[in-house]
Amino acid sequence: MRYLILSDIHGNWEALEAVLRDAGSDFDEILCCGDLVGYGADPNRVVDWARSRVKTVVRGNHDKACAGLDGLEWFNPAARDAALWTRQTLTSRNLEFLRRLPQGPVAMDSFQLLHGSPLDEDEYLVSTFAVAQIVDYLERPISFFGHTHLQGGFLCYRNSVKRLDRPHLGETRRIIELEHNPFYLINPGSVGQPRDGDPRAAYLAYDSENRLVEFRRVPYDVRKSQEKIRGAGLPALLADRLELGS
């Protein structure tokens, strides 16, 4: 099977559109590691698309908060304002869809999807130290996760954790051939709000038969997304950060 694996779209329609155009039809299924909404100005458009096109979405912390399943006290002021705006803007059908999203990990055939960590969808797996603490809780040798908005991930051996390579600035592709023994935690990066210093939308393609992961980056119309965010009265910071990729 050939999967498109997306994460952290965050209501950014322009970024999602660019990803889908870039991916073409060279895949069998689309999967999402959470955070369809929050921050961006097109939550309904993104959830409408997800409802009809995405095979499996695991719930992200913003999906949970925007659906009213969680309080907003852990969010910073900009995220909180955006979550409230999103909650008021979503149609009842889309709110219901978010409320029913499964909490990860969700097991697929040979891999699993999760948002933060296998223990807590709100936990950030950023360091090799943090990953070493949760390796024993991985129920599949390959896990796709999101939440950090950092494309890349980790290769976990019995006694060590290493970082995976990812496309550098100026590159659009990076292919990784997966080995059989280690455990992998792989992050497609964020479609709608990258935070790794590269403002291009991030995603990955996974060929499960040939065990190939291809990290991809694609430019999109950042200015249009920014205009929509400002036009909706969302915090200006959420527009500004898109061009920085931070």
**Under the rule (CB under 5 A), what is the footprint of Fe ion?**
8, 35
Per DSSP, the three-state class of 154 is strand
Nearest CB to Fe ion, comparing residues 9 and 178: 9
Residue 155 near residue 161 (C-beta atoms within 8 A): yes
Beta pairing, strands 142-144 & 183-187: parallel
DSSP string across 122-148: T----SHHHHHHHGGG-SSSEEE--SS
Nearest CB to Fe ion, comparing residues 147 and 183: 147
Nearest CB to Fe ion, comparing residues 146 and 155: 146
Output the smallest distance, CB 238 to Fe ion, in A: 12
Output the smallest distance, CB 160 to Fe ion, in A: 28
Nearest CB to Fe ion, comparing residues 8 and 123: 8
Closest residue to Fe ion, judged by C-beta, is 35
- Supply φ then ψ for residue 172, to 5 degrees: -115, -15
Single-letter amino acid code for the residue at 184:
Y
Output the smallest distance, CB 59 to Fe ion, in A: 11
| Helix extents (H) in 4-106 | 13-23, 43-53, 61-66, 77-89, 92-99
Non-local CB neighbours of 176 within 8 Å, separated by 6+ positions: 164, 165, 212, 213, 214, 215
Output the smallest distance, CB 10 to Fe ion, in A: 6
Nearest CB to Fe ion, comparing residues 18 and 83: 83
Per DSSP, the three-state class of 155 is strand
Output the smallest distance, CB 170 to Fe ion, in A: 25
Output the smallest distance, CB 156 to Fe ion, in A: 23
Nearest CB to Fe ion, comparing residues 8 and 70: 8
Any idea what DSSP says for residue 180? S
Q: What's the length of the chain?
A: 246
